Structure 1
Amino acid sequence: MALVGPSGGKTTISRLAARFYDIDSGKITVSGMNISKIDPEKLLELYSIVFQDVTLFNNTIMENIRIGKKDATDQEVMTAAKLAHCDGFVENMPDQWNTMIGENGSELSGGQRQRISIARAFLKDAPIILMDEATASLDIDNESMIQESISKLIENKTVLIIAHRMRTVDGVDQIVVLKDGVVFEQGKPQDLKQQNGLYKHMVEMQMQSHNWKYE
């Protein structure tokens, strides 16, 4: 399922699903279980999380990826990293997998930091995946490679995707369009495109923006 729409509510929903903070009213369920009654650490075992604001540590590339599965072997880490296309930039680093990346990944680009986050998700292999602008810092060529990898990552899993690029969510099963913090539209991408609604408008605006050229 993809969450799209103007600013407001999408990231909050993903944080609530992971129980980063609790709700004041209502109920959130996962597989019929009320998450407010599940220990937060146990709940997080069900999730692989790929958010735009990646948290990295002043350690090696290898150890930053291993956070996804603390008992993973070096080979398992490198396999996950290759699926996330990390190996291309790692091989050019001074100490490759043992390169220190600085506080919160200060030695890496935004795209490299997000690839590490995606590699963690491959390594953890959890049944539920939360993605918030997972490819936001990637150029089009790198985004295409990552999208191919993500397609493998999400097989047979429950996935919640937040994205502003409409092409990112074109293949999902369901789209929920949020406006002012409430559900404005909901349905399959092809059905929403046939309606003269907000989703169709967003798709058309992005297409116009993509095709715009300065003369």
Structure 2
Amino acid sequence: MTEVPATVIVIDDDPAIRDALGSLLRSVGFEVKLLASVSDFLKSGRPDGPTCLVLDVRLPGQSGLDFQRELSRGNIQLPIIFITGHGDIPMSVRAMKEGAIEFLTKPFRDQDLLDAVHVGLARDRVWLENEKALATLRARFDSLTPREREVMALVVTGRLNKQIAADLGVSEITVKVHRSQVMQKMRAKSLPELARMADKLKVASGEPQGS
């Protein structure tokens, strides 16, 4: 399966800076999108593959810092490298606290930007892989019947089959059958592995889920 290429998105209202950054990034093999404003980004959307955003602090309409805060509030993962000709320490501290990869003041060294882009893309690549793995787990969990989900929620707390049977008002044999189905459908090789899956999925433990 072909890997989706990484993309660097540059948002800067100065055409000369956009073009210069675009040339620099393309020269080392990156896919690049050059945009003049946050609204342009919102219209075009985020690419499918690993993505990093090179964002000017001062932009027409919504500022770069305000956009970063909006993404954070929406729990939208997107590595950001800020560039600015008007930076100050409080501004850079705010950006870094909100999770920015780097805060570069113009003029900056090309290598400093490229290093930050590599960090940002690596971070996004890991995040996308984790999201893909979580989506696979969710699909497996969705394949369970309501009763199997109840059994899974109780199994991962360490309760014995006979205790689960009493909790659910069924026979111990029935619990064993459901437990076997859960392990098979979730593709868990052991109870600790199933417990880790339940933790990632935030499966309610201890309380039987509605059937």
| TM-score, L = length of structure 1 | 0.26
Q: Over alpha carbons, which structure has the higher Rg? A: 2
For normalisation by structure 2, the TM-score amounts to 0.26
